[in-house]
Structure 1
Amino acid sequence: MSRPPADFDVPLNTACCPPLIGAALAGVDVEALLADIGIDREAADDADYSLAPALRAALWRESLQRSRDPALALHAAEAVPFGHFDVVDYVANEAPTLGEGIAALARYFRIIRADFHLRFEQDDDEGRLWLELPPSFGLVVPYTTEFTLGCIFTRFRGIVGDGFAATEIRFDYPAPGHLAEYERVFACPLRFEAEETLVRFPRSVLALPQPRADARLRLVLERAAAAVLARLPPASDLTQQLRQALSEELRGGTPTCEQIARRLAIGVRTLNRRLQGEGTSFQQQLADLRCELARGYLEDRRLSISEVAYLLGFSEPSAFHRAFKRWTGHSPQAWRRRAAN
């Protein structure tokens, strides 16, 4: 399959879950898939939010296997209709230029995914759109990135046509086996194993007018989007920065508070005081991140327990065994067997 059929309708009960959209598109029995993994049907709408990393990875794995479509995430993105993301779709559509539309999308993206970070900047030379996913997404980062950027490209191409073209896209993971579908969907130079996921746009593209823009309607939609955004729980930039720094330091061993404070350019006392004010601590954030990542890594049976311990910064596997048992009540081996059944 190279693209979704034009008459495909995204089932409402898979609306918020990209792997289920792709599975339904390929004719997979979604009910059986969820039952086999052990995901409650009522939780499927917001599965990407509520699932533990291990179950999220299992959902992607089973959707890919049963659909026999390695480009499932890209095809799911193409199948999601305009308006699916409610006010964010419309407020981006009503901006007068493509650059302002992308800026509006980034500004209100928390309404779609509060745990993702989409950032847009432009200068006299170009525009740059960054996408950062939570560290807990681990093994499913490529699929989630494909879906997210695929949705963005599909939407803006639907507004301005083939004029929506990037200078380059950089991905922070290796090239996939279905590279031809990347080239078809994104239609620009692609670079893999980069330090970050980044889309670059020329100024000429950002200046393109959006033909359906309505200045008065835009003001109404901007007010509506801002009101929705204001009702969301405030995101803690400090916690996000802390978790990102921790994830980058783990392979070198157990990060210390002093080490991370230096990376964040703040004092140790200030870091601890601010974390305490948010009802958490450095050690709690470190343990939570390690637990999330561990469950995701253990889903990949190509990784030995010793390799998982190394990826999480433990000096020896026995230390990882004790910590994992403390976090989950199971040994890593028992968790792996349980997740496989």
Structure 2
Amino acid sequence: MSSLAPERAIPFVTLPNWVKAAALCGFNIQSVFDELGIHTDLLHLEQATIGSKLLEQVMARCVARSRQRHFPFVLGETFAFEYLPDIETFITTSPTLREAATAFRWVHELINPLIDVRVEEQGEWGRLVLYGAGSATPAQPYFVEALFASVLKFGRLLAPQLERSASLHLRYPPPPHVAVYAECFHLPLHFEAPFNALQLPRASLDAPRPGAIPSLHRQAGQRVAQRIAHLPRHSGLIALVEAQFEQEPHLLGVGILRMARRLNMNPRSLQRRLREEGQAYSELQDRVRYRLALRDLDDRALDLETIAERLGFSDRRSFTRAFLRWAGMTPSRYRAQGG
């Protein structure tokens, strides 16, 4: 599937989920695709992409066609990692909510680069904050609704008592259909908030889960890590920066200024052009570090201190913290499992 618009293309591996949600809302989504000139191809779903603005049009038309249920909520509630079941296994077997939240990074890498959810903590509160989603276009709140409907679906599975202490904070004002929010979320709502976030007691992030299965959790994390390590390379400026990192990994440990000088560019221009291609410099730096870390860990002749130094980390501890965030396990655990 490809976008007819010139804007940034994003993966559309979630196509089956959209089809299912539309059916549950009483309409056939093929009519929407036909109206917008979108060709669907489940046989090559892994390569399917759609323009971000075109996807907004799809969402808006699905909302208009869904008379009895609010489409974004159904889309979120019925979401499943059908194409990437290892991520769902990782989430559902996680020992804690914090550990499960590692999967948001993989969602960003493998499913939708526009989804940027991070764990933040302040005082007694922890938050799952959605970045990059405001209300700049009429359709954007629909994507926020779908995302948090999905987050709550998995949250209830991981922590059945979550709704008793959590609250949802949304940047946009109450929408015309605000009455249906209570039916979906079942928790306090705060509109026109400074962030889009699910807020919960900080202690709940690390509360042990009785449903954790450590062995399956580690195996699922390792499989996802291997998949990310074999992602196809990008083109354009992203590919050029990646090549510089791979040729001289020490550049991973320095700021954008050094890379800009290497490419004879202004740092601001480099950052802007990378974002136009869909990648922030820090994200690109992190992704290459992760890929090279997986490669180096396969070389048993390299100890962790050497790998940390090669990748520009200040010490082994910093490398371990980063790898745990990327893969949901320590480098030692990854290597012990034959990664």
Please report the TM-score for the alignment, with normalisation by the length of structure 2.
Answer: 0.59
Residue 202 (structure 1) shift: 0.4
Match of 1:297 in 2: none
SS at match of 1:139: coil
Distance 1:190 1:135 in 2: 16
Equivalent in the alignment of 1:96: 95
CA contact (8 A) 2:128 2:197 kept: yes
1:308-327, aligned counterparts within 5 Å?
none
Change (3 A) 1:184 1:285: same
Q: CA deviation at 1:122?
A: 3.9
Distance 1:188 1:281, change over 3 A: same
The letter of the residue matching 2:118 is R
Cα-to-partner distance string for 1:66-101 (whole Å, 9 max, x where unaligned): 222562111222223476652221112222123322
State whether residues 25 and 74 of structure 2, in contact with CA within 8 Å, keep that contact through their aligned partners in structure 1: no
Question: Secondary structure at 2:209's aligned position in 1?
Answer: coil
Map Cα deviations across residues 226-255 of structure 1 (whole Å, 9 max, x no partner): 2223334689xx99xxxxxxxxxxxxxxxx
Paired position in structure 1 for 2:168: 169
Could you tell me which residue of structure 1 aligns to residue 186 of structure 2?
Answer: 187
Once the two structures are superposed, residues 180-219 of structure 1 have per-residue CA deviations (whole angstroms, 9 ceiling, x without a partner) of 3322322222222233212211034334432321112222
Asked if 2 retains the 8 angstrom alpha-carbon contact of 1:95 and 1:101, the reply is yes
| One-letter identity of the residue aligned with 1:199 | L
* Partner AA of 1:191 in structure 2: H
Distance of 1:133 and 1:63 partners within structure 2: 22
Secondary structure of 2:127 counterpart:
strand
Q: Give the match's secondary structure for 2:138.
A: helix
Secondary structure at the residue paired with 1:127?
A: strand
1:170–1:192 Cα contact (<8 Å) kept: yes
Unaligned stretches of 5+ residues in structure 1: 1-12, 240-264, 290-341
Cα 1:170–1:85 change in 2 (3 A) is farther
Q: Equivalences for 1:6-85 in 2 at 5 Å?
A: 15-16=14-15, 19-42=18-41, 50-69=49-68, 71-81=70-80, 85=84
* 8 Å Cα contact 2:118/2:128 also seen in 1: yes
Q: Secondary structure at the residue paired with 2:117?
A: strand
1:208–1:37 distance in 2 versus 1, CA, 3 Å: same
Q: Return the letter of the residue paired with 2:181.
A: Y
RMSD over aligned CA atoms reads 4.2
Identity of aligned residues (%): 23
Partner residue, 1:217: 216
Structure 2: stretches of 5+ with no match in the other structure: 1-11, 239-254, 279-339
Letter in 2 for 1:51: I
Residue type at the aligned position of 1:108: W
Assess, with a 3 A threshold, how the Cα gap between structure 1 residues 41 and 221 changes in structure 2: closer, same or farther.
closer
Task: Kindly state the Cα deviation for residue 177 of structure 1 after the two structures are TM-superposed.
Answer: 2.1
Pairing 1:68-147 to 2, within 5 Å after superposition: 68-69=67-68, 71-81=70-80, 85-102=84-101, 104-109=102-107, 110-122=109-121, 125-133=124-132, 138-147=137-146
Distance 1:283 1:180, change over 3 A: closer
Q: Which amino acid aligns with 2:103?
A: L
Amino acid of the residue matched to residue 155 of structure 1?
F
- What secondary structure sits across from 1:188 in the alignment? coil
User: Is 1:15–1:45's contact at 8 Å kept on the other side of the alignment?
Assistant: no
Count of residue correspondences: 248
- Offset, 1:154: 0.4
**2:76 and 2:149 in contact (8 A); partners too:** yes
> Is the Cα–Cα contact under 8 Å of residues 126 and 202 in structure 1 kept in the other structure?
yes
